[in-house]
Amino acid sequence: MPKDGIGASVKRKEDYRFITGQGAYTDDIDRPGQTHAVFVRSPHAHARIASVDTGAAAAMPGVVKILTGADYAAEGLGGLPCGWQVTGKDGPMVEPAHPPLAVDRVRHVGDQVAVVIANSAAEARDAAEAVAVAYEALPAAASIEAALAGGAPQVHDEAPGNLCYDWEIGDKADVDAAFAGAHHVTRVELVNNRLVPNAMEPRAAVAEYDRATREYTLYTTSQNPHVIRLLMGAFVLQLPEHRLRVVAPDVGGGFGSKIFHYAEEAILTWASSKVARPIKWTAERAESFVTDAHGRDHVTVAELALDADGRFLGLKVDTRANMGAYLSTFAPCVPTYLYATLLAGQYTTPKIWCGVQAVFTHTVPVDAYRGAGRPEATFVVERIVETAAKEMGIDPAELRRRNFVPADAFPYQTPVALVYDSGNYEGTLAAALAAADYNGFAARRAEAESRGKLRGIGLSAYIEACGIAPSAVVGSLGARAGLYECGEVRVHPTGSVTFFTGTHSHGQGHETTFAQIIAERLGVDIDAVEVVHGDTSKIPFGMGTYGSRSLAVGGSALARALDKVETKAKRIAAHLMEAAEGDIEFTDGQFTVAGTDKSVGFGDVALTAYVPHNYPIEELEPGLDETAFYDPANFTFPAGCHVCEIEVDPETGAVEIVNFAASDDFGNIVNPMIVEGQVHGGIVQGVGQALLEGCVYDDEGQLATGSYMDYTMPRADDVPSFSVSTQTTPCPHNPLGVKGCGEAGAIAAPAAVMNAVHDALGPRGVSRIDMPATPARIWQALNAA
């Protein structure tokens, strides 16, 4: 095996350029003759636009063009599309128009009303302040509760009661019957707090139009440039793919927020042909807070029925999910197919019902954010299991063990549509408990008590459905796209390799991981491999990176393409060595003829493919360049157990995480160091949700947490050193046996932290703390108890 192959903790190839400031991000791109755009945005959560007067602004220095919603509407172009149609109990979801520039109404603070294009960003900003928009402010519904109240302000006329859909999974009568026979029922009310994604790099775009070729080019901060090309080209601007190139260069973090097709991308592309000059826009941080799609925002009531031994009989979950003011690209599927289908967790709960009401509010649209639905599901399941354990006096670890899907039960059909492919939940639980010294907790709690501190420990045995997704399955559930992946392996004449992938790396380390797989398979040096992503003009096609899919789906496309390369190379090698194709073996970059000492190197075969002098030219085309599209057979199911231990200072309410142990099963692992980094980052985001991050709108729909002065991002000193380890049950249905690791930490951690907080505070009579469990909230709860 080559030293940098599968399983090696290779240092990331891309990091040198990142840490020396040589990354090329969208804002680093400057095109000749470039102009700058600034968007005029609504300061109101809800208002009627009486008029937009651009006269004074247009006369200001440096202004090139000002375009309004009326200008856009006059051209008969499309609105921003939604990529997933959920069908509820009463029919398809309500799908209101989403104009890229508001025409007569604004529906959230930050909604874009006009764009000012000028020679410099400063001139554009000056002129944007001079655009006179006459708003007639209207009452706003800024929360789920406010939007569902009788007489609530309506976000869209076509959505009475602000309901987007009322959806359910499972047979409620069946579940009610299970509850009727219960020994004990545990009930919890939960809020899954709204989060602002806060990628380090703000969104940005540069658009230009070439009058000679009639080609548009859009550089944008995207996790999936082909998806943007498809949505913007086919649905919004009606531009054919061959005249629309979308490039997502280096991207500084996405966490889901850069999956979606945003108005700024379409407006810049549309305007670029009007001004016949390139246009750049980069969001200011304050703008990111009010325009990047937010995450989570659920309110849930859940009930778990148990028998006398603590075996789960049934689960009922009633959730209301905030969609925000418009449907973002994949918003409808997040609280349904990425959420309710995970409510079996790691358990054999036989009967499950979940109802979800999706609600429009006068807030920024809500969509997928690291984990997307699965953190919300894990939070429900693991909070209610932990609560049930406390209520029944059963050790929380033991209660989980009694209900685990056994290791010999795979493939396992859950009552909520999914078929779990593999796993060993006892194994990850045992490893996590050992790493956390679970058995020594009582002594540590007593010691903490002697110092006046309240100590708690909490478990989270999570599962996720990743490797998104089998196209036919998601198609039947309302997805308006396939979710396969594409990879092209181009072997060059001298044996070096370029891999073109439809996935996109914005922090995941694909340039290293994919190179390791190629090094392993072809026996080439890792530095002889270049990974290319993020450009629709270079890569055949791609659905991008989200849902922990890059390795499980994109890596599988790579494996299939490598199979094709190997098959063809073997035929060339057989010809060169005058042997039968079936006798050729390929190991460590050498083709050999079984039972002989004949061999030929991979480089010689590559050269022969491109210099076909001695070549089976009548049977085989020259060249060594293979493409594969891979559509997964099933989701993958990473799972594991995280254990968090905390101390509360009862005088101030401050929480300190004193220990955090994670044991994860991601299937086979290509680069353990990258996996560890992904887990660390995910846990920190999960801790952020549990203890720190809370997006707050006031009753008028103004964002009260619109900057880092008020929105608490997790910092290094908020978390301890983590103990992370992996257990492996390979994925049985993809060629690499991999499951994905990018979202696990963010999915598992919130429940682990909050279970620990409740464990610490329970003895003081506190039964409910919502996320984020800030010192003020904890102090108040302790005082009220």
Partner 1 sequence: MHDFTYRKAGSVADAAARAAAGEDAVLMAGGMTLLPTLKQRLARPSDVIDLGGVAELRGIRVEGGAVTVGAMTIHDAVANSPEVAAAIPALAALAGRIGDPQVRNRGTIGGSISNNDPAADYPAGLVGLGATVCTDRREIAADDFFAGMFETALADGEIVTAVRFPAPEAAAYMKFPNPASRYAIVGVFVARTGGGVRVAVTGAASCVYRETAMEAALEADFSPAALDGMTAAADDLNEDIHASAEYRAHLVGVMARRAVAACGAGAAGG
Smallest gap from Cβ 59 to partner 1, in A, equals: 18
Tokens for 398, please give them: 């033991």
Smallest gap from Cβ 697 to partner 1, in A, equals: 11
Which CB, 705 or 723, lies closer to partner 1?
705
Which CB, 119 or 273, lies closer to partner 1?
119
Q: How many CB atoms lie within 10 A of CB 765?
A: 10
Smallest gap from Cβ 42 to partner 1, in A, equals: 18
683's CB contacts (< 8 A; 6+ apart) are: 642, 660, 662, 719, 722, 745, 746, 748, 749
Q: Which helix (H) or strand (E) holds 577?
A: none
Q: Which helix (H) or strand (E) holds 160?
A: none
Q: Could you give the strand order of the β-sheet that contains 132-137, starting from the edge strand earlier in sequence? A: 105-106, 47-53, 132-137
Smallest gap from Cβ 696 to partner 1, in A, equals: 5
177's CB contacts (< 8 A; 6+ apart) are: 351
Smallest gap from Cβ 778 to partner 1, in A, equals: 10
Smallest gap from Cβ 703 to partner 1, in A, equals: 11
Which CB, 479 or 684, lies closer to partner 1?
684
| Cβ atoms of residues 123 and 60 within 8 Å | yes
d(CA 111, CA 474): 31
Smallest gap from Cβ 167 to partner 1, in A, equals: 33
Peptide bond into 365 cis (omega under 30): no
HSE of 123, CA atoms in CB hemisphere, 13 A: 15
Q: Indicate the angle between helix axes 672-687 and 744-761, nearest 10 degrees.
A: 40
Which CB, 524 or 692, lies closer to partner 1?
692
Q: Decide: helix, strand or coil at residue 238.
A: coil
Alpha carbon of residue 487 to chain centroid:
21
d(CA 761, CA 391): 15
Binding site for partner 1 (CB under 8 A): 125-126, 129, 286, 651-654, 692, 696, 704-705, 708-713, 774-776, 779-780
Smallest gap from Cβ 709 to partner 1, in A, equals: 4
Smallest gap from Cβ 710 to partner 1, in A, equals: 5
Rg (CA), the chain: 27
* CA–CA distances in Å: residue 36 to residues 62, 207, 219: 10, 10, 14
d(CA 531, CA 718): 35
Secondary structure letter of residue 550 according to DSSP: I
Smallest gap from Cβ 692 to partner 1, in A, equals: 6
DSSP state letters, 527-538 = GGEEEEESBTTT
Which CB, 499 or 711, lies closer to partner 1?
711
d(CA 394, CA 177): 25
Which CB, 387 or 774, lies closer to partner 1?
774
Give the angle subtended at the CA of 453 by the CAs of 450 and 454, to the nearest 5°: 115
Smallest gap from Cβ 655 to partner 1, in A, equals: 10
Which CB, 540 or 775, lies closer to partner 1?
775
301's CB contacts (< 8 A; 6+ apart) are: 187, 188, 189, 190, 317, 318
Which CB, 308 or 784, lies closer to partner 1?
784
Which CB, 489 or 692, lies closer to partner 1?
692
Which CB, 471 or 780, lies closer to partner 1?
780
Smallest gap from Cβ 121 to partner 1, in A, equals: 11
Which CB, 21 or 440, lies closer to partner 1?
21
Q: Could you give the strand order of the β-sheet that contains 529-533, starting from the edge strand earlier in sequence? A: 529-533, 497-501, 485-491, 625-630
What stretches of 644-692 show up as alpha helix (H) in DSSP?
Answer: 672-687
Which CB, 61 or 406, lies closer to partner 1?
61
296's CB contacts (< 8 A; 6+ apart) are: 192, 193, 194, 195, 366, 369, 375, 376, 689
Query: What's the helix, strand, coil split of the chain in %, to 5?
Result: 30, 25, 40
At position 259, the amino acid (one-letter code) is I
Which CB, 413 or 783, lies closer to partner 1?
783
Smallest gap from Cβ 452 to partner 1, in A, equals: 12
Closest CA to 120 of 60, 36, 204, 207: 36
Which CB, 617 or 704, lies closer to partner 1?
704
Which CB, 587 or 783, lies closer to partner 1?
783
Smallest gap from Cβ 16 to partner 1, in A, equals: 25
Smallest gap from Cβ 784 to partner 1, in A, equals: 11
